[in-house]
Amino acid sequence: MADIYYIDGNTLSNSTAIFTDAELTICAPDGFYSDGVTSREQVSCLLLPSQACGTCGTPCGEEIGASGGQGIYLINLETGETELDTGAILIRFNPASQPDGIRATFNGITYNKLSSTVDGYHASTSPTSHTFLGRDDTDPASCSQIISGATYPAIEEFLYDGAAFTATGNTQSLFIAAGDLSLSDPTPPGYCLMVIPKVTPSPSIVNLSIVGPCETTAWDIAIACPVQLSGYSSSSLFGSIGAACSVIKTEVYYNAPNGVGFGTPSLYDWVFSDTNGQFILSDGFYGYGASNQFMQVENGVIIALGTCP
């Protein structure tokens, strides 16, 4: 006999959760549910974005570009389910000039913090909102000036099918708070790096949501498969350059590169105390490397590098 489940919407696509009782008080277990057309994963009594049945998630290791009109663009990213498929998932997003918002959901956690190759750390003030990136156009009529505080009651939704974004037939309502905007001035931010830690083989699907609130949108995103970050010798945390430079380097830390490469810290890299990119370093100064260098970290991102005095 088939299991019977109950939803809080008219269809699986427009529901927010699945339950095991008609009163909608007992949440169904975490996992994937399907109505034969759409498949959705439930995590902690919350349904994640839709996936088309009969297809797998988009394999990691691809670069995807999009251009079109206003919309919410969804990518269900498959990162692998073997013991080798763990580490840091590095996502590089280039929003160009028009403001575009991005967030990722993995294992029930929202990720929306990025580091630009041009100007470093970017994040919404809300831990669960999209972070909107792009150029801060000073023209009062520009899209970057009118989306702050705007409500969009029905933005069309598009799902990546492995070749293109196709309309799902659904819409989403979105409010863009002033704190969601993290725009760059005077130039666009270029590629912005997001790091998602994957410490176990399963779950394997990362749900990416990219919002184009303007009349037109154009962006590209490069999605790497999980990788173990490379370490380098460092001091512990200090409050000044002098203190960080005067001690023996007894620690090993790990960088997600925005610049030179793995194991070689560079400006605007993310830095962590673990190989999976799960625990960012605390704000302050660190001595590192055999050539007696120092770095300053803020929000988990390197904001300054130099030679010890």
Predicted pLDDT at 244? 96
- Amino acid 51: pLDDT: 60
pLDDT tens for 53-90 read: 444 588 999 899 999 999 999 999 999 988 889 999 99
For residue 174, count CB atoms less than 10 angstroms from its CB and return exposed for 0-12, middle for 13-18, buried for 19 or more: buried
Confidence of residue 3 (pLDDT cuts 50, 70, 90): confident
What is the predicted pLDDT for the residue at 155? 95
Domain hosting 153: range is 58-223
Which value, in Å, is the radius of gyration of the alpha carbons in the chain?
A: 21
Tell me the per-residue pLDDT of 212-227, one tens digit each, with 9 for 90 and over: 999 999 999 999 999 9
Contact 155, 71 (CB under 8 A): yes
Claim to verify: residue 219 and residue 240 sit in the same structural domain? no
- Per the domain annotation, does 19 fall within a domain? yes
Q: Are residues 71 and 209 in the same domain?
A: yes
CA distances (Å), origin 128, targets 44, 103, 107, 245, 303: 15, 8, 14, 38, 25
Tokens, residue 293: 């260098």
Residue 102 domain-assigned (yes or no): yes
Cβ atoms of residues 87 and 139 within 8 Å? no
With respect to residue 236, please indicate whether it lies within any of the assigned structural domains.
yes
The per-residue pLDDT for 234 is 97
Q: Are residues 109 and 171 in the same domain?
A: yes
pLDDT, tens digit, 9 for 90 and up, residues 161-184: 888 998 988 899 999 999 999 999
Confidence of residue 139 (pLDDT cuts 50, 70, 90): confident
Whether the CA torsion 19, 12, 213, 132 is positive or negative: it is positive
pLDDT above 70 covers a percentage of the chain that reads 96
214 in the same domain as 73: yes
**Domain shared by 136 and 261, yes or no:** no
**Last residue within a domain, chosen from 223, 240, 256:** 223
Give the CA distances from residue 251 to residues 233, 288, 303, in Å, rounded to whole numbers and listed in that order: 6, 9, 20
CB 294 within 8 A of CB 306: yes
Average pLDDT across the chain, whole number: 92
Res 56: pLDDT: 58
Same domain? 72 vs 36: no
pLDDT at 115 over 80: yes
Residue 168: other Cβ atoms inside 10 A: 19
149 shares its domain with 250:
no
Residues 65 and 40 in one domain: no
The alpha-helical segments, DSSP class H, found in the chain are 143-146, 241-245
Domain shared by 74 and 210, yes or no:
yes
Instruction: Decide: 258 and 190 in contact? Cβ < 8 Å.
Output: no
User: Strand, coil or helix: what is 137?
Assistant: coil
Number of domains in the chain: 3
Model pLDDT, residue 54 = 42
CB count, 10 Å around CB of 281? 24
Q: Is the pLDDT score of 1 beyond 60?
A: no
Q: Which pLDDT belongs to residue 57?
A: 80
In this model, does residue 52 exceed pLDDT 90?
A: no
In this predicted model, what pLDDT tens digit does every residue of 265-293 receive, in sequence order? Answer: 999 999 999 999 999 999 999 999 888 99
236 shares a domain with 163: no
State the sign of the Cα–Cα–Cα–Cα dihedral 123, 128, 133, 137.
negative
Reported confidence tier of residue 35, pLDDT bands at 50, 70, 90: confident
Q: How confident is the model at residue 36 (pLDDT cuts 50, 70, 90)?
A: low
Does the residue 1 lie in any domain? no
Same domain, 67 and 201: yes
Place of tokens 């023209």: 139
Tell me the CB-side half-sphere exposure of residue 166, using CA atoms within 13 A: 8
117 against 50, higher pLDDT: 117
Q: Looking at the structure, do residues 21 and 97 belong to the same domain, yes or no?
A: no
Torsion of CA 179, 181, 185, 188, to 10 degrees: 150
Comparing 11 with 235, the larger pLDDT belongs to 235
Q: How confident is the model at residue 37 (pLDDT cuts 50, 70, 90)?
A: low
